Amino acid sequence: MARGRSADWDLNRETIVRTATRLFAAQGYPGTSMSDLARECGISKPLLYHYVSDKYELLREITEGHVSRLEALVGEVDALALAPAERLRELIRRFVHEYAQARHDHGVLTQDVKFLETRDRQRVLRKERAVVAAFAATIGEARPELARAALDKPLTMLLFGMINWMFTWLRPQGTLSHDDMAPIVADLFLGGLGAVRPPSVKARK
């Protein structure tokens, strides 16, 4: 009879996945070995293989898990039935907040999705395209004339250009937080520079 999993199996595996995410983001998927991961987790390689079959399994789980969470955020915002402009603001707020919690996940998705096998990469890209389409549809509803001019998707990509790369320069312990930046991004995108309002000053340690 096969031995069942221990009570803390899921917790241990999640720790391994989170550690792999951090290492992939810092060193790149090709530059990270299972030996690196085992050492960083403080376990032996044989024990590591008890939890994951190989490095590729981790890459697939990290990338697909991240875009699946983004898809879920779109669904949650849609369920609020907000007016288009407010829906766009809420999408921006939630995405910026999610990126703050998943800096490493987003880094792996950005730099390492190309290492996925074709079927897995296409599945991740389909999810990404669905997220982009949801933003574009919201922009089109807010400004139908822009959609008629086929500018809804280019504007979406400009918006993602603002928020997708925020993790490269906005530091967790910096003067501004991701939550500070979310309304600034929305103001800038929806109203231009003149619409940007500074966040209230906060004491930061």
- Give the architecture-level CATH label for domain 62-195: Orthogonal Bundle (1.10)
Question: Per-domain residue ranges for the chain?
Answer: 62-195
Q: Write down the pTM of the prediction.
A: 0.86
pLDDT tens profile 129-171 = 999 999 999 999 999 999 999 999 999 999 999 998 887 888 8
Annotate 102-133 with b (16+ C-beta within 10 A) or e (fewer). Answer: bbbbbbbbbebbebbeeebbebbeebbeebee
Report pLDDT digits (tens) over 173-205.
888 888 899 999 999 999 988 877 888 755 444
- For residue 7, the model assigns a pLDDT of 53
- The separation between CA 91 and the C-alpha centre of its own chain, rounded to angstroms, equals 13
